Amino acid sequence: MTKHFLFALGQVMSTPHALALAAKRQIDLWVLLHRHQTGDWGDLCEEDRVSNEEALVTDARILSSYQIGQDKIWIITEADRSFTTILLPDDY
């Protein structure tokens, strides 16, 4: 089953720390971006999942969080959908 994109990513950027972790752990960031854009928010609490669902309608910021071993990678798409940033929580 093919999942449809729920929103535009805009320009995609990443912090150096997120790129380094992805290289070290051999993580395909395109896979995480696809999950984010198709509504697989990763490891979020229910409240944050509901916020993301509402953001699809209200054009608010969307956050996904993916647990990678003991590390996390966040993906944030801005409310105006102009930018999506891949980062580590410490980069925020």
Per residue in 32-91, pLDDT tens?
Answer: 999 999 999 999 999 999 999 999 999 999 999 999 999 999 999 999 999 999 999 999
| Residue listed under structure tokens 């956050």 | 63
Backbone phi and psi for residue 10, each to the nearest 5 degrees, phi listed first? 70, -150
How far apart, in whole angstroms, are the C-alpha atoms of residue 65 and residue 63?
Answer: 7
CA distance 69 to 52: 24
Answer whether 43's CB lies under 8 Å from 72's CB: yes
User: CA 39: distance to chain centroid?
Assistant: 10
pTM (predicted TM-score): 0.95
pLDDT of 17-47, one tens digit each?
999 999 999 999 999 999 999 999 999 999 9
Report how far residue 79's alpha carbon sits from residue 92's, in angstroms, rounded to the nearest whole number: 16
